Chain A
Amino acid sequence: MTNSIEIKNLDLSFGAVKVLQDLNLNIGEGEFLVLLGSSGCGKSTLLNCIAGLLEVTDGQIFIKGNNVTWAEPSERGIGMVFQSYALYPQMTVKGNLSFGLKNAKVPKDEIEKRVARAAEILQIEALLDRKPGALSGGQRQRVAIGRALVRDVDVFLFDEPLSNLDAKLRVDLRVELKRLHNQLQNTMVYVTHDQVEAMTLADRIAVMKGGKIMQLGTPDEIYNQPRNLYVADFIGSPSMNFLEGNLEGGAFKVDDMTLPMTGYDFAAPQTAGRPAIVGIRPEHVVTGELVRNAPLQFEADVDLVEPMGSDTLVYAKLGQHSFRIRMDGQARVQAGEVLQIGIDPARASLFDKATEDRL
């Protein structure tokens, strides 16, 4: 896979505040890359740097092999979709779609052709003569995507495009976006703080924090093998259970419990003992019939039960530690009960307590 976007040693500071630090990132041709992180992690800033809307302090950006570090946004071969849609309110949908092309002095019949094609792909043909004010949120965002589409570029940049939509529309448009990517095979860089969007859309996810990329990997890697404590905690809802203890001779000890880590894929052989943290996802805890087959079995005291229809979230105590367990929606559990649970160490994550990196 050749690289569509290359970011080399990128630095960006606003005065004394370093927003991006020595950031390197290669995005493949046709890849759907999601920049994921909580607010203030620098993900939108990075996207604005790629778009050329922010000037970088140091480093280089290449798009399709061209050094575009100093290029204007319109010269970079990108299309961009914004959270607030950012449609020009006084222009019709057609005017919105063709504005960029007119600025680029594209011939008139070519503009017509491209607008018609984009409208067809996004199914907004009937809306072409309307003003943005007369459109619903979902329609507006579709027009905004169309505005990127008509530019006929290789790289699409999305800045939290679904955040302003209501929950149901968000899911619909998410599916449509994925379909669009399958159809167009463009490179797409997508900024979001929503991990569901990230997991469902991405070929690869870059989890960011404090202007740095914490982990870059496929959704599967990010979910199953988080490289450090931050990623482990950030991904997954409800979030991972963490127990602090010691790793000694291939077994994790916390208070009087011992978890032999048989089957766990250590990054490096662990000989010396060390303080460590084990992370277990609430949905990886088994209950009922399945406990018998689980490598490790415990008893947990049920504290509180949250039935959510599809799942039941159980807040329990494992020893003195609070522990979340995700059970089937049909599970009938009540506070005060003692629940038999099973854990598979192969699906857990171990982190060094000092460095917070995966062991």
Chain B
Amino acid sequence: MANSDTMAAPAALAAGPRGPKPKRRMTRGNIIVYGTLFIFALYYALPLYVMVVTSLKGMPEIRMGNIFAPPMEVTFEPWVKAWSQACTGINCDGLSRGFWNSVRILIPSLFLSVAVASVNGYALSMWKFKGSEVFFGILMIGAFIPYQVMLYPIVILLREAGLYGSLTGLVLVHVAFGMPINTLLFRNYFASIPEELFKAARVDGAGFWAIFFKIMLPMSLPIFVVSLIIQVTGIWNDFLFGASFTGPDLYPMTVQLNNIVNSVQGVKEYNVNMAATLLTGLVPLTIYFVSGKLFVRGIAAGAVKG
């Protein structure tokens, strides 16, 4: 047979493509794609650069007008001033007051909303009861109502409850408004956990809370991180509720930042404003950096089983 020859001796290869296909790097398409990406990356990074640079300059240097130039003389004076000396209204103790207010708002709101939403999601996915879908639907409607519509009713509600102008009132508002999206998150996450695991735990004699704490919680770190990030950024960056439901002494950091930046008296201290803005953004930024990896894992968790 003709084949036997080729079996015995390796055949000479014909001319033409052989082995892995060569990769061409410097094509026109690649240059356009990477060039565009580079320009947009610069475009996004530039404001941050200007902010950092400006916050490290003294006022005389800023008046020279080279906003892109690095500082000739690095000074941390603006940061100190923004933190502890800048005036907002009658108070002249800087952003520190707002920072601590924000912390006092954030911590209880965060714990309460994540705790309630996780139990909500667990119950709605594992312990379906008659009307649980309707209940969930109603909860979801809450996610689509614009906040502005609710402002006045909430003011009345808080006033009647004697909580208007207090941090407790604001915390309750944050917990309520975080409920729909976080419940949805937890419900979908728990729904992706195999039902048989839940059944096995029931046969093993575990009840509602035992299954939640011993089986489900240890498996749901990623979704807790997602919820934590959403809540921290949402609550920390909130301006509307903070400005509406608290008074000057209790203003959160964002409201105070606004007051510092928008104050009309005296000279505009750009360096202090920049430092104050960076200080305010520091908390969500830290959370992102610390938990970024887990965040991605949690977001993807519902999509693919495994």
Binding site for B on A (CB under 8 A): 48, 51-53, 72-74, 78-80, 82-84, 86-90, 99-100, 103-104, 147, 159
Cβ contact within 8 Å between A82 and B196: yes
In the assembled complex, which residues on chain A have CB atoms less than 8 Å from the CB atom of B210? 103
Beta-carbon contacts of B190-208 to A below 8 Å, as 1s and 0s? Answer: 0000101101111111100
A52, A89, A100: the one contacting B204 at CB < 8 Å is: A100
In the assembled complex, which residues on chain A have CB atoms less than 8 Å from the CB atom of B199? 48, 51, 53, 73, 80, 82, 86
Cβ contact within 8 Å between B202 and A74: yes
Cβ contact within 8 Å between A90 and B219: yes
Binding site for A on B (CB under 8 A): 194, 196-197, 199-206, 210, 214-215, 218-219
B201, B202, B203: the one contacting A88 at CB < 8 Å is: B201
10 additional contacts, CB 8 Å, given A87-B200, A88-B201, A147-B204? A48-B199, A73-B202, A73-B203, A74-B204, A74-B206, A79-B203, A80-B203, A83-B196, A84-B194, A103-B204
Expressed in whole angstroms, the minimum distance between the Cβ of A41 and any Cβ of chain B is 19
Expressed in whole angstroms, the minimum distance between the Cβ of B192 and any Cβ of chain A is 13
Task: Knowing A90-B218, A103-B210, say if A51 contacts B203 (CB, 8 Å).
Answer: yes
Task: Knowing A84-B194, A86-B194, A86-B197, say if A100 contacts B203 (CB, 8 Å).
Answer: yes
* Smallest CB-CB A-B distances: 3 pairs: A74-B205, A100-B204, A103-B205
Cβ contact within 8 Å between B204 and A99: yes
In the assembled complex, which residues on chain B have CB atoms less than 8 Å from the CB atom of A52? 202
B200, B205, B214, B218: the one contacting A86 at CB < 8 Å is: B200
In the assembled complex, which residues on chain A have CB atoms less than 8 Å from the CB atom of B200? 80, 82, 86-88, 147
Q: How far is the CA of A89 from the CA of B214 in the complex (A)?
A: 11
List 17 contacting pairs A-B, 8 Å CB cutoff, sorted by A: A53-B199, A73-B199, A73-B203, A82-B196, A82-B200, A86-B196, A86-B197, A86-B200, A88-B197, A88-B201, A88-B214, A90-B218, A90-B219, A99-B206, A99-B214, A103-B205, A103-B206
Expressed in whole angstroms, the minimum distance between the Cβ of A341 and any Cβ of chain B is 40
In the assembled complex, which residues on chain B have CB atoms less than 8 Å from the CB atom of A104? 205
Expressed in whole angstroms, the minimum distance between the Cβ of A155 and any Cβ of chain B is 11
Q: How far is the CA of A99 from the CA of B201 in the complex (A)?
A: 8
From A82, which residue of chain B is reached at the shortest CB distance?
B196
Expressed in whole angstroms, the minimum distance between the Cβ of A212 and any Cβ of chain B is 24
Expressed in whole angstroms, the minimum distance between the Cβ of A238 and any Cβ of chain B is 33
Give the interface centre of B196, B215, B218 by most chain A CB atoms within 10 Å: B196
Give the interface centre of B194, B196, B202, B203 by most chain A CB atoms within 10 Å: B203
Give the interface centre of A51, A83, A99, A147 by most chain B CB atoms within 10 Å: A99
Q: How far is the CA of A110 from the CA of B194 in the complex (A)?
A: 31
Give the interface centre of A72, A80, A88, A90 by most chain B CB atoms within 10 Å: A88
Q: How far is the CA of A74 from the CA of B203 in the complex (A)?
A: 5
Expressed in whole angstroms, the minimum distance between the Cβ of A56 and any Cβ of chain B is 16
Q: How far is the CA of A48 from the CA of B196 in the complex (A)?
A: 11
Q: How far is the CA of A144 from the CA of B229 in the complex (A)?
A: 37
In the assembled complex, which residues on chain A have CB atoms less than 8 Å from the CB atom of B196? 82-84, 86, 159
Q: How far is the CA of A52 from the CA of B199 in the complex (A)?
A: 10
From A54, which residue of chain B is reached at the shortest CB distance?
B199
From B217, which residue of chain A is reached at the shortest CB distance?
A90
Expressed in whole angstroms, the minimum distance between the Cβ of B153 and any Cβ of chain A is 38
In the assembled complex, which residues on chain A have CB atoms less than 8 Å from the CB atom of B218? 90
Q: How far is the CA of A30 from the CA of B196 in the complex (A)?
A: 26
From A84, which residue of chain B is reached at the shortest CB distance?
B196
Expressed in whole angstroms, the minimum distance between the Cβ of A106 and any Cβ of chain B is 10
Task: Knowing A100-B205, A147-B200, say if A89 contacts B194 (CB, 8 Å).
Answer: no
Q: How far is the CA of A83 from the CA of B199 in the complex (A)?
A: 12
Cβ contact within 8 Å between A78 and B203: yes
Q: How far is the CA of A48 from the CA of B195 in the complex (A)?
A: 12
Give the interface centre of A48, A79, A90 by most chain B CB atoms within 10 Å: A90
Q: How far is the CA of A88 from the CA of B199 in the complex (A)?
A: 11
Q: How far is the CA of A83 from the CA of B194 in the complex (A)?
A: 11
Q: How far is the CA of A327 from the CA of B197 in the complex (A)?
A: 46
Q: How far is the CA of A100 from the CA of B204 in the complex (A)?
A: 4
Q: How far is the CA of A275 from the CA of B202 in the complex (A)?
A: 52
In the assembled complex, which residues on chain B have CB atoms less than 8 Å from the CB atom of A53? 199, 202-203
Q: How far is the CA of A52 from the CA of B100 in the complex (A)?
A: 52
Q: How far is the CA of A82 from the CA of B194 in the complex (A)?
A: 11
In the assembled complex, which residues on chain B have CB atoms less than 8 Å from the CB atom of A87? 200
Q: How far is the CA of A95 from the CA of B203 in the complex (A)?
A: 15
In the assembled complex, which residues on chain B have CB atoms less than 8 Å from the CB atom of A79? 203
Q: How far is the CA of A191 from the CA of B192 in the complex (A)?
A: 24
From A81, which residue of chain B is reached at the shortest CB distance?
B200
Q: How far is the CA of A353 from the CA of B215 in the complex (A)?
A: 54
